[in-house]
Structure 1
Amino acid sequence: MSDALKHFGILAHSAEGAALCFTTFCHEGGKRLGPDIHPDVTVDCIAFGHCMDAWDKGDFAFVRNVHAQSVTRLAKAGADFFACADNTSHIALEHEGPAFDIPGLNIGDVVAAEARRLGMKKVGVLGTRFTMEGPVYKRALAAQGIERAIPDARDGAEIDRVVFEELVRGKFLDASKSFYAGVIEKLAAEGCDGVAMVCTEIPILLDGVKTALPALDSTRLLAKAALDVARGAAPMPQWRGGPVGEDYS
């Protein structure tokens, strides 16, 4: 491997999201660097279940500390930078705390930058209840001059239920596909010109499903951004966790 290539570390929280980030990174590497070639990549995963009580209690410091353990292990494995494919995790990653051992890409900023590149003005956000109602995409989209929209409370509750009872357990049901597609139709009717699929499993659920809005696939966008960094086509990130910019709240 060329010394010019950087070692990428994936901070895994949910298995499906980390797996999609890993395979996308490797496959895109083959397209850009040659058949079966990609920069070194290491995955570290502390079981998702250890954090569920903390998520329910809003104990973001606890989750951040768990993620910090993963970042430290990635650094010790030789990773030059990291990224986490789980959007909800970024609420904890952006929480106040000691700087991480290596810098990381912020998935919210990656998605928002792509929305701006595509000329989107109002983006619907689909994810866990924590992500839809939380500060990460409110901040990231606003920083790019983009309006954020979320589903109503009833639809939001069902989106969240499907994520935690089905998607993170590898269940991708036809009824849930139809429901999510229907929510996207409602967002289109409300004036959205794009939808951010900011739970890593949603693009897997809707793979091959025609939706009413162009979609921002957060996991694949993150993996491609990481590949650009690893092969030197984009600068190394500087963020080491904690609040991003003055608009974070």
Structure 2
Amino acid sequence: MKCIGLLGGSSDQATADYYRQLNLLVKQRLGGFNTAELVITSMNFAISEYCVRNEKWDELGEYLANRAKALELAGADFYLCVSNTLHCTAPRFTAATKLPFLHIADPTASAIRNAGLTRVALLGTLPTMSSDFMRGRFESQHGLHVLVPAVNEMRTIDGIIFDELDQGVLTERSKAVFLDIIDGMHTQGAQGIILGCTEIPLLVKQADRPSIPLFDTMALHVQAAVEMALA
């Protein structure tokens, strides 16, 4: 089994869920007492939050590059970043090591294509929805057409993610907001919805909208990582 590296801490909620899901899936695949071989470097989320909200991308990239080097020194065979948003600096931090990097967009796009869909909506933090680092990869490398919510809805989603989900706060009010936006994007022609923040699945589940395919980037990332680790 290969050792999986986790670039974690953004947020601690998502990192804990990655750890749980990776171990659970390895146990399901191999049985017995088997669990995943993992090393985790957990960043200070306050640094990540400050850099994202103030668009300090160079500072964030340097910080993540140092964290990625720590994973390499700790013996990881390949690694993942537990945050969709922090993939905005992937060119910077992946250049800092020789480790293979499993980009969160790629297994998500594969699942969408395998479902026979081409037109999807992307929900996530404001940078994830408004910038090109995720949408561009989905469109240019995987041939998908990606829709995003209106600007005011983007800001609402971003606020819920940072002020509630990242703090472990789950409310029915915010869940209803997400579901209303999902319904609206579906009405606008989205065949499916990318839950493009690894905290969103803590609040919104496929069972909440069984008729609209929801693509959980964390779950798909975990599945791809386990396949890579066991190959």
Q: TM-score, normalised by structure 2?
A: 0.93
Q: Which residue of 2 aligns with 1:9?
A: 5
Distance 1:33 1:97, change over 3 A: closer
Partner SS for 1:124: strand
2:80 is the alignment partner of 1:83: yes
SS in 1 for 2:208: coil
Task: Tell me the equivalent position of 2:137.
Answer: 140
Gap runs ≥5 in structure 2:
none
Matching residue within 123, 127, 143 for 2:124: 127
**CA contact under 8 A between 2:121 and 2:194: conserved in structure 1?**
yes
Report the secondary structure of 1:171's partner residue: coil
Q: Give the corresponding residue for 1:46.
A: 43
Amino acid at match of 1:149: L
Task: Please give the alpha-carbon distance, in whole angstroms, between the structure 1 residues aligned to 2:126 and 2:79.
Answer: 25
**Preserved contact between residue 105 and residue 226 of structure 1 (Cα < 8 Å):** yes
Residues 108 and 136, structure 1, Cα contact 8 Å, conserved in 2: no
Aligned counterparts of 1:55 and 1:138: Cα–Cα separation in 2: 18
Distance 1:206 1:53 in 2: 26
How much does 1:57 deviate? 3.0
Shift of 1:96: 8.0
Separation in 2, partners of 1:39, 1:97: 23
Gaps of 5+ in 1: 233-249
Structure 1 vs Structure 2: percent identity of aligned residues?
26
Instruction: Note closer, same or farther for the CA distance 1:83–1:32 as it changes in structure 2 (3 Å cut).
Output: same
> Take 1:96 and 1:22, find their aligned partners in 2: how far apart are those partners?
21
- Aligned pairs for 1:155-170 (under 5 A) are 155-170=153-168
Partner of 2:201: 203
Q: Give the Å deviation of 1:99.
A: 3.5
Of 172, 176, 181, which residue of structure 2 is paired with 1:174? 172
Change over 3 Å in CA distance of 1:136–1:113 after alignment to 2: farther
Per the TM alignment, residue 189 of structure 1 is displaced from its structure 2 partner at its CA by 0.2
Per the TM alignment, residue 64 of structure 1 is displaced from its structure 2 partner at its CA by: 1.4
Post-superposition Cα deviations, 1:61-119, rounded to whole Å, max 9, x if no partner, equal: 21111111221111121111100120000001134884324221000122112111111
Tell me if structure 2 keeps the 8 A contact 1:72–1:101. no
Hey, which of these two has a bigger chunk of helix by percent?
2
Residue 126 of structure 1, CA deviation: 0.5
Q: How does 1:47-86 map to 2 (within 5 A)?
A: 47-86=44-83
CA RMSD of aligned residues (A): 1.6
Aligned with residue 106 of structure 1, among 103, 106, 126: 103
Q: CA contact under 8 A between 2:85 and 2:125: conserved in structure 1?
A: yes
Per mean C-alpha deviation after superposition, the further-off stretch among 20-29 and 30-39 is 30-39
What secondary structure, in the 3-state scheme, does the structure 2 residue paired with 1:44 have?
strand
What one-letter code is carried by the residue in structure 2 that aligns with 1:10?
L
Q: Which deviates more, 19-28 or 68-77?
A: 68-77
Task: Give the paired residue count.
Answer: 228
Q: One-letter code of the match for 1:224? A: Q
For the residues of structure 2 that align with 1:185 and 1:36, how far apart are their CA atoms?
42
- Is the deviation greater in 54-63 or in 42-51? 54-63
Q: 1:113 to 1:196 in 2, by over 3 A?
A: same
TM-score (norm 1): 0.87
